[in-house]
Structure 1
Amino acid sequence: MAMWSRAWRVAVADLLPAYSGCRGLHVTAGRLIRAQRPKERLEAVEIPGLEPITFRDRMHFVPGLAEPKHPAWEREWVDPLHRRGPKYEEMPLYKERPCYTFHQRTKLLEGVKQALWLTKSKLIDGLPKRILSIAEDPAYRIENQDERVKAAISHARFWSAPEIRPERARFCPVLMQDLLHLCRIQQPQFPTLGSRMLAENYRVSATWERETDIYRVCGLNGMLLSSKHPLPAMAGEEEILSTDKHTLPTFYPISPNIDLQLTNVYELHNDTGFRNGYPFPHAHTLYIMESSIIARSFRPEPLRAKMIMFTFAEALARAKVLYGEEPKVLHNPITVQCVATNGRQFQFLVFQLNTTDLQSNDGVKNIIWLDQDQFLYDYAKCLPIIRKKVIQVPAGLSGYCPETFSKFLALYLHGAV
């Protein structure tokens, strides 16, 4: 009888596994147990004109007596850790019309397509011919260029960090500073490079209207190389007017403002990040390092969208300062460059702002040149990768690509040669 009872319990546990997820049934140690619902707590009934008898005077819980209601305690001093801020409706910057904000941690779901729609831009693959001609001309090369670039990579990956596998947030800024230093040593040959300034930890803010919504870009965005003289326009007048026939990309049924922060407390403010009278007012090149500002890394597609949005914000904020708030087609387009990297892979972008009339999809569009996924090197390993007693990746630097730094240098020298 005991053996039959044990076999029956095992059969129940094996034949009814699906019933264990049903409401009110649980199989535990071969037994079928019916779960009990928690007892619902009765709500307090208030009768007008009658005061409930509570255990306030008893100073302890008494069954059968009502729970006393104490008034909210208010501090007589300001505690910064427990301070209650005002409601959104009571703030002076509150507006009924919401605003969609793009900041340094925003990752667009549709990536470049969504950024093209938000900035009303046309995309062209590859860098402009003017920059490519500088990159291919041997007259603009640095003496012992390849050896110096390899030394910069070794400094960032091997010499500056004691770890075998340094974190990206550590070696990426070191590599960027070393590459910029190699570009700056060209100043004796090109004196115009002395009229530039590199700024860090500055904030940009730009607002615009797109169809029926208000959009804003604000926050930190890497390092900005600014100059006393603006960059020349890449596209001529005929090419700018031909963008009137270009159709912006669509990603229906996804909303264009997906992943953007919605807020009702904002300020319609356009600021380049510098005060009036700054001797280097024109943005030249924006350098974005993937792990220098935030801990969460960006994939290449959201990183390229971030490049477009912040470069557009730089150009738009400068255009609002020069030409006012009224939307118009610019007679002198504003050009801003951008370089983004994760320490190994580089993205190059050139943005030309042709119009500030961004509300509709018709009319002149802005132009973007994008050269993506350019590797400076393949691997930089302190220890070799060995699989099945075969060296798959050797120790040290391997797979160096000199064309990537040539484009990096060409963007830096653009406007001075």
Structure 2
Amino acid sequence: MPKITELRGLFKPFTKPLHRQWKWVWQEKGKFNEPKLTIPKAFEGRQLNIIDPLHEPDPNALPDESTPWTSPTRHPMFEYLVPPLPREQHPLFHHDRPVFLFDSKTKLHAGNIHPTKNQKLTFIGFVCLFKGVDQACLLTKTIPFYELPQSIKQNLDQVTIPNQDDLIQSYIRQSIAYDATKEKLPRKYTPLKQRRSFRVEYSIPRPRQMSILLENTLSLCESLGGRYPDLFKRNLYRNTPFYTTFERYGELVHLRKKNEYILTSPTPLSPIVKRLYKLEISSGDSVNENLGVHDPNGHYVMQGNDYKFLNMYPVYPTIDLQSEQLYQDGDEQGWRMKKSNEYVHTTFYVSNDELIHEATTDERLARMVMFAFGTALVQARQLYPNGHLTKPVTVQSVFLLDELFHFVVFQLNTLNYNETNDQRYNYVWIDKDNYLYDNRPSMVMHNPLYGTERNLQRYVLEKLKYNPEVFQKFLALYLQGIK
């Protein structure tokens, strides 16, 4: 390419555009300077066959094309460059024994049962009595109680935070209207397949709304650290892996999930029901008053003796679980509990369903029971490697779906799932359908009055009906284990 001084006088002013003149000069006067091959200093002095891309390569330097190239380390960033391995050659593939997988998308319900014409009359009564929570309790050998434990109910309204109701209402407004995030929302639809189109809206997505509300609520509970210094010893983890495997009815069940939020404490939670052996002989509705002084939750053992598990015959309890041969052995909680001396206190689940009506309340509660059991199981195996529980393991769980809260307290009393002679069962307390505020229109389905996101924000800010009892339950569960 000639220099600028040599190009003077070559351009003809006012004849053609300047970029065309440069193109003509390049075609007529330009020259291509072949770049020299530069070798980095790191490769100098090594016996490497360097291939120059501008010249014909040395045939001895090229790799043999007959042998396929495989990457020494498979990285997700370069996965598209490496041909995927067959399923049977995957390192996590188990040839000998598959498992039944239960993850965050598994639904326990009777919808997967399709009886034949001859069996239709036999299955009618069975399908009507079938519930996902009962199936989850059958898989985990658990007795359910649809209320909060008496020891937690006694602590309600015992501790209050200054201006807590005003702060919670401001957190609700922030999560719905006062956040700067604007993302594309899923398309709205109308019932009965009406042909109506809605314009694309940009606002705060539902998962972020629930995360903002949950994080602010946890920060408000943590503000009691000046009154209870043990709160500062707790840790909050996000997006930690979780998986475990247990055997039930001679088959392996694998639980796998990613915990959105998990709260840990330096000391484990005390069991809800402490006296398991002395109360197993008694049964009935009458409760001994002397027992209530030492153990207010002792009457749950009497109620548990009268509980009958769901009879699913001839259907197996794992009918809704898919068979899987690609899984990891062992237990994973997200950290090493023996070294860090941390115990699970409460797990918080934020709904990932894109549609509000994608799953029912019973299906979500069944997931909570299964994962609460898995969390307690991993902690029990790490505390008691010999498989004999000397003290029950208790964990808590909170589920959040928009303004709806579900609270679950799980107590693991035994690790013997297949022994019929063992009369010890696990206990779970379920408190469902707790609405933090009322009259929230749907964000997914079209609403004729508050159909747009702007009207929804205006509606929530003006006509919010706050329920203070939900936060008191949340605070009582958060303060469990504080002396």
The normalised TM-score by structure 1 is 0.73
2:147 corresponds to = 126
CA distance in 2, matches of 1:87, 1:385: 50
Corresponding letter in the other structure for 1:250: N
2:477 corresponds to = 411
CA distance in 2, matches of 1:394, 1:295: 22
Flag the structure with higher strand content.
Answer: 1
1:62-73 correspondence to structure 2 within 5 Å: none
Tell me if the contact between 1:377 and 1:399 (Cα under 8 Å) persists in the aligned partners: yes
Runs of 5+ consecutive residues of structure 2 not aligned to the other structure = 1-64, 72-78, 110-130, 183-200, 281-300
Tell me if the contact between 1:382 and 1:395 (Cα under 8 Å) persists in the aligned partners: no
- Which deviations, in whole Å up to 9, do the C-alpha atoms of 1:289-321 show, x marking residues without a partner? 002xx6565432222111111111111011111
Structure 1 residues 341 and 254: alpha-carbon distance in aligned structure 2, compared to 1, 3 A threshold: farther
2:366 corresponds to which of 301, 305, 329: 305
SS of the residue corresponding to residue 202 of structure 1 reads strand
2:331 corresponds to = 270
1:332 corresponds to which of 380, 391, 395: 391
- Which deviations, in whole Å up to 9, do the C-alpha atoms of 1:299-358 show, x marking residues without a partner? 3222211111111111101111111253x4x22100000000112100001000000111
Structure 1 residues 290 and 298: alpha-carbon distance in aligned structure 2, compared to 1, 3 A threshold: farther
Deviation at 1:156, TM superposition (A): 0.5
Tell me if the contact between 1:120 and 1:361 (Cα under 8 Å) persists in the aligned partners: no
SS of the residue corresponding to residue 370 of structure 2 reads helix
1:154 corresponds to = 173
2:465 corresponds to = 399
Tell me if the contact between 1:164 and 1:382 (Cα under 8 Å) persists in the aligned partners: no
1:108 corresponds to = 108
SS of the residue corresponding to residue 211 of structure 2 reads helix
Deviation at 1:89, TM superposition (A): 7.3
1:372 corresponds to = 432
Tell me if the contact between 1:385 and 1:394 (Cα under 8 Å) persists in the aligned partners: no
SS of the residue corresponding to residue 185 of structure 1 reads helix
Corresponding letter in the other structure for 1:341: L
The yes-or-no answer on 1:211 pairing with 2:272 is no
Tell me if the contact between 1:225 and 1:286 (Cα under 8 Å) persists in the aligned partners: yes
Deviation at 1:125, TM superposition (A): 1.3
SS of the residue corresponding to residue 416 of structure 1 reads coil
CA distance in 2, matches of 1:406, 1:189: 17
SS of the residue corresponding to residue 155 of structure 1 reads helix
Aligned residue pairs total 336
Tell me if the contact between 1:315 and 1:336 (Cα under 8 Å) persists in the aligned partners: yes
Tell me if the contact between 2:108 and 2:366 (Cα under 8 Å) persists in the aligned partners: yes
Deviation at 1:404, TM superposition (A): 0.5
SS of the residue corresponding to residue 339 of structure 1 reads strand
Structure 1 residues 376 and 276: alpha-carbon distance in aligned structure 2, compared to 1, 3 A threshold: closer
Structure 1 residues 92 and 307: alpha-carbon distance in aligned structure 2, compared to 1, 3 A threshold: closer
Structure 1 residues 198 and 369: alpha-carbon distance in aligned structure 2, compared to 1, 3 A threshold: same
Deviation at 1:91, TM superposition (A): 5.3
2:267 corresponds to = 229
Deviation at 1:246, TM superposition (A): 3.8
SS of the residue corresponding to residue 471 of structure 2 reads helix
Corresponding letter in the other structure for 2:363: P
Deviation at 1:280, TM superposition (A): 4.6
CA distance in 2, matches of 1:298, 1:382: 15
SS of the residue corresponding to residue 308 of structure 2 reads coil
CA distance in 2, matches of 1:92, 1:414: 39
1:33-52 correspondence to structure 2 within 5 Å: none
CA distance in 2, matches of 1:395, 1:371: 26
- Greater Cα shift, 117-126 or 88-97: 88-97
Structure 1 residues 360 and 238: alpha-carbon distance in aligned structure 2, compared to 1, 3 A threshold: closer
Tell me if the contact between 2:350 and 2:400 (Cα under 8 Å) persists in the aligned partners: yes
CA distance in 2, matches of 1:226, 1:401: 28
The normalised TM-score by structure 2 is 0.63
Structure 1 residues 245 and 275: alpha-carbon distance in aligned structure 2, compared to 1, 3 A threshold: same
- Greater Cα shift, 167-176 or 356-365: 356-365
Corresponding letter in the other structure for 2:466: Y
Structure 1 residues 380 and 246: alpha-carbon distance in aligned structure 2, compared to 1, 3 A threshold: closer
- Greater Cα shift, 397-406 or 350-359: 397-406
Tell me if the contact between 1:157 and 1:380 (Cα under 8 Å) persists in the aligned partners: no
Runs of 5+ consecutive residues of structure 1 not aligned to the other structure = 1-72
Tell me if the contact between 2:100 and 2:322 (Cα under 8 Å) persists in the aligned partners: yes
The yes-or-no answer on 1:341 pairing with 2:422 is no
Tell me if the contact between 2:87 and 2:93 (Cα under 8 Å) persists in the aligned partners: no
Tell me if the contact between 1:224 and 1:287 (Cα under 8 Å) persists in the aligned partners: yes
2:95 corresponds to = 95
CA distance in 2, matches of 1:299, 1:75: 53
